A = this chain, B = another copy of it.
Amino acid sequence: MTEMNRHSDAPIGVFDSGLGGLTVMREIMRTLPEENIIYFGDTARVPYGSKSRDTIIHYVEQILHFMQEKEVKAIVVACGTASAYALEAVRHKVKVPILGVVRPGVRAASAATKNGRIGVIGTEASVKSGLYESLLHGINPELSVVSRACPLFVPLVEEGLWHDEITTLAAKRYLSELKEKDVDTLIMGCTHYPLLAGTIREVMGEGVNLVNIGVETAQVLKRILNEQGITKKTTDAPAVYRFYSSDAPEKLCRFGESALQMEIPEAARISIEEY
């Protein structure tokens, strides 16, 4: 699909079904502050988490066409669901490095656990994919993995209820089994969830390692750019960030300003169905 782009000042393409991927962009900005970034949020078709595998792959292919047009040098699938369902199906179609958020999260969790009991939370689709379990067991078959879908977390985040008793009640419900099973490490397998980290920590207790898949993904991206020799030089022009969405760009701006703690004067709306 895309040809390798060896220009180190070409942007990194980051996308998500909606706005949660901005938490991954935030970590990339922290880890690689020189890099130009293009963000696309598929807000017209959010959420992916309740959709089928075929639909998700079809959507991701359209987004990769858009990223190709923007001549990105690397692509981050900043969406737990799309990473779980579509990444392997589309990987061979792109010529630039492409990475998702699942594998970095899995590696971090398997390194962090002491008691061998790992919890995974995500959308319905992510959890149903079984990918976390199979990757964790690939690393260590002895690991005990408990997964739980938390379908209300995305709407709660998108409605701004990051600290709210409704969110706490939902979190207690979703996390009770993971607490009972005494997991010492919890993969927040959806990029929206870091915005609920306060509530999740409160419910799970201080002793549990919370794995932010965005932090881990940014580290892996840094290493890949380095290995490929396409890291942007610090002497180049300052980083430029561009934002696109398939619907309601003003919502992306508003949400992005809280999530990224920076001003987002504009986001462009694109017709992703035409890609």
> Chain A: residues with CB nearer than 8 A to chain B?
43-46, 50-52, 55, 151-152, 155-156, 158-159, 165-166, 169-170, 173, 246-248, 251, 273
B156 touches A152 (CB 8 A): yes
Q: Which residues of B contact A155 (CB under 8 A)?
A: 151-152, 155
Task: Kindly provide the distance from the CB of A244 to the nearest chain B CB, expressed in whole angstroms.
Answer: 15
- Give chain B residues whose Cβ lies under 8 Å from the Cβ of A158: 50
CA distance A51 to B269 in the complex (A): 12
CA distance A169 to B169 in the complex (A): 9
Cβ contacts under 8 Å, A251 to chain B: 50
Interface of A is mostly: loop
Nearest 10 interchain pairs by C-beta: A155-B155, A52-B248, A51-B247, A55-B247, A151-B159, A166-B169, A44-B55, A52-B247, A166-B170, A273-B273
Does the CB pair B50–A248 fall under 8 Å? Answer: yes
What's the least CB distance linking A61 to chain B, in Å? 13
Among B46, B159, B165, B273, which residue has its beta carbon within 8 angstroms of that of A169?
Answer: B165
Copies of this protein in the assembly total 2
Q: Please, which residues of chain B bring their CB within 8 A of the CB of A51?
A: 43-44, 247-248
A260 → chain B closest CB, angstroms: 20
Q: Which residues of B contact A45 (CB under 8 A)?
A: 44-45
**Distance (whole angstroms) from the CB of A118 to the closest CB of chain B:** 25
Min distance, Cβ A125 to any Cβ of chain B, angstroms: 10
Q: Establish whether residues B152 and A159, one from each chain, have CB atoms under 8 Å apart when the complex forms.
A: yes
A151 to B156 CA separation, bound complex (whole angstroms): 9
Q: Which residue of B lies closest to A167 (CB)?
A: B166
- Which chain B residues lie closer than 8 Å to A50 at the CB level? 43, 46, 158, 248, 251
Cα separation A170 to B55 with both chains bound (whole Å): 31
CB-CB nearest in chain B for A164: B173
Residue of B nearest to A153 (CB): B155
9 A-B pairs whose Cβ atoms sit less than 8 Å apart in the complex: A45-B45, A50-B251, A51-B247, A52-B247, A55-B246, A152-B152, A152-B156, A166-B166, A166-B173
Bound form: Cα–Cα A248–B170 in Å: 25
- Distance between A43 CB and nearest chain B CB, rounded to angstroms: 8
| B-side contacts of A44, CB under 8 Å | 45, 51, 55
* Given A155-B155, A166-B166, 4 new contacts (CB under 8 A): A43-B51, A44-B51, A165-B169, A169-B169
Residues of B within 8 A of A151 (CB): 155, 159
Residue in B closest to A51 when the chains form the complex, CB atoms = B247
In whole Å, how far is A2's beta carbon from the nearest beta carbon of chain B? 23
